[in-house]
């Protein structure tokens, strides 16, 4: 079945460092891909999304590109801030499933130190 694998955490970075969180997926067809973020004490929020191959999702300085050839959707940010400390989840919905059922990766905890 469909699945998502992301790099294990926790990841600890200094402020202004470059961030990459790897995410790869297995799915039939062409799923939609998402990054969700969970800030301490808050619910899940959509960070960015991409619905077809070569799409780049971006938000709040974060970017991820839908790479069909490598089945990847790695999250990047050029300069992290302390406020980016959170748990990041990569997820997919199968093609044709309009945002309903989500399959999540295991989550990566990011801690940014001043």
Partner 1 sequence: SAVISQKPSRDICQRGTSLTIQCQVDSQVTMMFWYRQQPGQSLTLIATANQGSEATYESGFVIDKFPISRPNLTFSTLTVSNMSPEDSSIYLCSVAGRVEAFFGQGTRLTVV
CA distance 62 to 72: 16
Give the nearer residue to partner 1 in terms of CB position, either 17 or 107: 107
62 counts as binding partner 1 under rule CB under 8 A: no
Contact pattern from residue 11 through residue 50 relative to partner 1, giving x for each residue in contact according to CB under 8 A and a dash for the rest:
---------------------x-x-x-----xxxxx--x-
Q: Two tokens at 76?
A: 């990047």
Question: Which residue from 89, 92, 110, 112 is in contact with partner 1, where contact means CB under 8 A?
Answer: 89
Distances (CA, A) of 83 to 12, 23, 43, 47, 107: 13, 22, 16, 14, 18
Determine contact, residues 66/48, Cβ cutoff 8 Å.
no
Q: Among candidates 114, 102, 95, 113, which has minimal Cα distance to 44?
A: 102
17-25, 61-69, 71-79, 105-113 -> range binding partner 1 (CB under 8 A): 105-113
The residues of the shown chain that bind partner 1, judged by CB under 8 A, are: 32, 34, 36, 42-46, 49, 51, 89, 93, 98-107
């Amino acid at each position: 079945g469909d699945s998502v694998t992301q790099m294990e955490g926790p990841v600890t970075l200094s402020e202004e460092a470059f961030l990459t969180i790897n995410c790869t997926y297995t799915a039939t067809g062409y799923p939609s891909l998402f990054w969700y973020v969970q800030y301490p004490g808050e619910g899940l929020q959509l960070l960015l999304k991409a619905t077809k191959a070569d799409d780049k999702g971006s938000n709040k300085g974060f970017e991820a590109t839908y790479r069909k050839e490598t089945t990847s959707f790695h999250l990047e940010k050029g300069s992290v801030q302390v406020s980016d400390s959170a748990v990041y989840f990569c997820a997919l919905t199968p093609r044709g499933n309009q945002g309903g059922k989500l399959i999540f990766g295991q989550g990566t905890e990011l801690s940014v130190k001043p």
